[in-house]
Every structure is written in structure tokens, then in C-alpha cells.
Amino acid sequence: MEFSDEEQEYIQKSHPIIIEIISRLLAQLLLLREEICELKSRVRDLENRFNLNSTNSSIPPSKNPLNHKKISNSRVSRGNRPGGQTGHIGTTLSPVENPDIKIDHAPNVCSGCGATVQTKLLQFLDERQEAEIPPATILWIAHRIFSYHCPYCHTVTNGEFPRHITQKVQYGVRLTAYVAYLSVYQLIPVKRLTHILSDLHGCSISPGTVINMVERVGGNLEGFTDKIRELLIESPVIHTDETGMKVGKKKSWLHVASTKLLTLYGIFGSRGHAGIEALGVLPHYFGIAVHDFWDSYHKYPCNHAYCNAHILRELKRVEEETKQDWAVRMRELLLKAKKISEIFHDKDKLVGPSLIKFLNEEYSNIIIEGMQANPPPTPIKGKRGRRKQPHSRNLLERMQNHQTEILLFLTNPLAPFDNNLAERDIRMPKLKMKISGLFRSEKGAQAFSRIRSYVSTMQKNEISIIDGLMKATMGDPWIPDYSQKNHPTLVSTNQELALA
């Protein structure tokens, strides 16, 4: 507190005890002011946290508060009307020329006098068709072998069971693949899955048998995951991400590394360095890895590209919390740079050096403006350690330190603008946690991650999922091979079983 010259003169003429009391009160007032500032800061942080949603942070849309104000959609409208657009090839339910079943509906008696209808007087009037699912009950197949006695050399030759028939009584390949499909791909909980098998197919299978089927299919995919890991290491660009999982009573993490054609999942007990090492991709990778600002990724010697979708959301949060103009300008700059890179790269051209220099300088100027508007917090006298910085200051420092990685999409056509590919790949396994809550065992979690890697990779390569799972059940999973120009197709497992 400052005093005028007249007030200071009165204080100096006062009694020493009064001067001491005033000094003590001033010291207490300064401490009280600091506490008030600290409490105001905490209140502001809590208010800002309450205002977080999927558009200004990494909170998923499913966790947006229901009683909150309307959350605006960040997508830009193209002005199209709802429904099919011009040129869209639709699918219409149309009759077929040769129906599988024909049912004739003829009257039994005359509606006039009640006489019995004569068949020879019937006249065809009209036909209507319906598409129906036939009842699918369990089919029991008996595999029998015989011996042959040669009349010439008198040698007895025995027939052999198919390779996949190993037990006296067992569940078939398609049934096992069907269970894995419903459990891992459609994310149906085990108990509900047994109800589906019982109600729709008349097959009574225990929950333990369902779990054993899934784990058996997952155990046959070890070679597949090793191959996917090798192909990812050889890829020029990969996307990585991680999310929380629960295995038993332990907190675990699902890690993913993926491209447009490959997906590899792994569930481990660590989110950081140990989990990334266990997945086995980044420690041996030297291409471009796209990810968020999680610090554990920085330890690897590959080229790094940061997800600008995260940055755009954080800039929107700064804009809403502080009303500062630099956040708006930075959002506009990043979106403009994205548009420029798309124009050049779509024509197989590089962005010109002068344009890159201009965008980088504009980026740096906005950062400097933001730094001036958000100075570091002043240390509190008597308190050790750094004071907590506001979100805007932390974001500015990250964007300043990693400018090259954030704008890599401008200079390298291979580097994407965001990490949406990995976030889409991780969305369905995360949904598994919302449905089931946890994995009961590490073996079950490992089987899920392997089968999910297999299914996701088949989806990206337009391979039949059920046929691929049948091959995996037989111990011969589909494995991608990009040595040829055309991607390999999957031979129908029904043909293999018929030949076996």
C-alpha cells in the first residue's frame, strides 16, 4: 500500500508502538491480498473446468454435460439439404427374377356360393416378394473315416480327418469365428452373446466356452501381429495414441499404432515409455510419427508431427476463457495453412519457400503477442517452487517450442494435419470399456487386442471379416502382403473346408 507525503509525515511523528502496529497490519494485509488472489485464481480454474467440452478440450462428446449450454458444431456447413445428394447411387429393395421359395395362395371356397374351388379354373393375378432370413439352427456334421484294403499289395490305407477336426466332439470353425465376431467386433458382452446363440441358433454354450473360443482365436494371431509390427516400422507415416483401460483391478492402457491400411493394438500396464516399448513400433521407427503432446513420445528418434486438431480445440478454450485476440488469429492461421497445403499437395506440388517463410513468421508473431498478453505468474515470496501457470501460457510455450513439428504438414506432403486416424481407431476399443467395464484377465485383454488389430486391418483392406476370422480359427490367418501391385484377396474359407 502506498502513502502520500502528508500521510508518511504523520506516521513518522507517531508513537513507535503505533508505527509497529501499522507495519504489522500492512504485512497481514499483503498476505491477505495474496490469499485472495490465489482463491480468485482457483475459482477461475474451477469455472473454466466446468466450461470444458468436446469442442475446446480432449473431452469426448459422450461426456459433454447434459444440462450445459448448447455446444456449437465446429463443422462448416456445405449447404446441402438432408438426404441423398445429386449423383448418389442409392439402394432400393427390388424384386428378384428367380425367388428361392414360391408359395401360392389360392382360395379354398367360392366367396359367392361357398362351392369348393376348382383348381383348373384358377387364374394368376399378382405376385409380391419379401426378403427374409431363414431360421439358422446348429448343424451337426459327422466326419467319418474309412480304411481301404488294396487287393493287389494287400496294404491297408486309412482315411484322415480334416486338419481342423482334433476332438471327438468340438465346435466348428464358423461357429468359433462367429463367436469372436460378435464378442470382439460387435462388442457384445459374454452373457448376452450366449443368449443370442441360444435364442437364434438353439446352441447352448457356457460363458467360459465363449471366453476360451476368443482366447484361442487370439492365440492364433501372434504371427499376424508380428507381421503388422514389421510393416508399421517400414511405413513412412504412422499414427499413435493411447487411452485408459481396466484389466482386473489394475489400471492399464491401450496403445495403438496405425496407418490407412494397418492397425496394431496392445494393452499394457503403463501409459508411458514402458507401454510404448511393449508395443514395439516406435523404438525401431525412423519415419514420421503423428501424435499429441504426450511427453513419452519425444524420447524416440523419429520425426514427430503434432495433432493440430488438439491445438485448435485448446485455442478455442483460450478464446472462451480469456477473450484474447491472438487465439482467434492462430486458429485462422492454422486453418489457412491447412487449406494452402491441400491446394499444393493435391496437385503433387510443394508449398513455395516464400509462402512457408511468411506463414512461419506470422505464427511466431502471434506467439509473441500471446506471450505478452500472458506473462508468467509472479513468484510468491516465502513459497518454494514454480507457481501454476494458466492453460493459455502452457499452450503458448508448447507451440513455441514445437513450431517445426506443428507446421510439418506444410513442408512435408506425407505429414497429415491431425491425428484423427489414430483417434478413430481407438474409438471402438474404448466403447468396449463403456459396455463391459473391464477385462477380467490379461489373457483376455491380449486376445481382444490381437483380434481387434486383425479385424481393423481387414476392414481397411476390404477383406471379409467372417472369412478372415474362420482362417484365424484354423490357425492360418490372413496376412497382408504389399509386395504386389494389387492387394491380395481372401479365398473363401467355405471352399477350404469343402476341400478339406
Tell whether 360 is covered by a domain. yes
Whether the full predicted model's pTM is greater than 0.95, yes or no, is no
**Within a domain: 451:** no
Residues 432, 459: contact at Cβ < 8 Å?
Answer: no
Give the pLDDT of residue 473. Answer: 94
- The percent of the chain in helix, strand and coil, each rounded to the nearest 5, is 50, 10, 40
CA 240 – CA 255 distance, rounded (Å): 7
Burial 390-423 (b: 16+ CB within 10 A, else e): bbbbebbbebeebeebbbbbbebeebbbbbebbb
Are 319 and 327 within 8 A, CB to CB?
yes
End-to-end Cα, the chain, rounded Å: 94
Residue 469: the pLDDT is 96
Q: 366 is in which domain, residue-wise? A: 308-375+389-411
As for how many domains the chain has, the answer is 2
DSSP secondary structure code for residue 183 in this structure: I
Strands of the sheet with 237-247, listed across from one edge: 263-268, 250-258, 237-247, 288-291, 303-306
Q: In 10 A of CB 8, how many CB atoms?
A: 11
Residue 473's contacts (CB-CB under 8 Å, 6 or more residues apart) are 164, 173, 176, 177, 180, 216, 217, 220
Please report whether residue 325 resides in a domain.
yes
| 392, 324 contact by CB (below 8 A) | yes
Angle at which helices 442-460 and 465-473 cross, to 10°: 130
Paired strand residues for 257: 240, 264
Of 466, 408, 27, 440, residue with least CA distance to 246 = 440
Q: Are 333 and 359 in contact (CB under 8 A)?
A: yes
Is residue 7 domain-resident?
yes
* Residue whose entry in the numeric block shows the C-alpha cell 450366449: 194
CB 331 within 8 A of CB 313: no
Residues of the chain with pLDDT under 70: 1-3, 5-15, 19, 50, 58-78, 380-385, 483-500
Give per-residue pLDDT as tens, 368-383. Answer: 999 999 998 877 666 6
C-alpha cell at 194: 450366449
The CA-CA-CA angle for residues 394, 398, 399, to 5°, reads 115
How far, in Å, CA of 319 to CA of 391, rounded? 11
Q: Is 324 exposed, middle or buried (0-12, 13-18, 19+ CB in 10 A)?
A: middle
Contacts of 332 (CB under 8 A, 6+ apart): none
Residue 196 lies in a domain: no
Q: Which residue has the cell 507457481?
A: 387
Q: Which parts of 122-260 are beta strand (E)?
A: 147-149, 156-158, 237-247, 250-258
Please provide the size of the chain in residues: 500
What local confidence, expressed as pLDDT, does residue 499 receive? Answer: 39
Distance CA 477, CA 220 (A): 7
Q: Tell whether 186 is covered by a domain.
A: no
In a domain, 420, yes or no: no
Residue 22 resides in a domain = yes
* CA trace torsion 73, 79, 83, 84 (10° rounding): -130
Question: What per-residue confidence (pLDDT) applies to 53?
Answer: 73
Distance between CA atoms of residues 335 and 352, nearest Å:
18
